[in-house]
Amino acid sequence: MAKTHLSLSLFLIGFLLVLFVADIGYVCGQGCDLLLLVEVGECRQCDDYCRSASPVLVGHTVCLYPRAVGQFCMCCR
């Protein structure tokens, strides 16, 4: 019984990870590649952070709001 529960838990974690990565690919895949994913305090910090991290390569930024985690900034090329 414990083995089944562990297998199911691992499957669910893997499935959620695939959904998260697919979501990033969808949001950031329209002619750009994901360069950096970083946690920020507020979404308005995204542009400044991405431009200072790599000013030449960054084309645009996208802010994500995972519920219990925080706000994440995607720096796209």
Name the more confident of 31 and 63. 63
pLDDT of residue 46: 81
pLDDT of residue 62: 76
Average pLDDT over residues 6-33: 50
Q: How many CB atoms lie within 10 A of CB 61?
A: 21
pLDDT of residue 47: 81
Q: How far apart are CA 23 and CA 20, in angstroms?
A: 5
Q: How confident is the model at residue 70 (pLDDT cuts 50, 70, 90)?
A: low
pLDDT of residue 49: 81
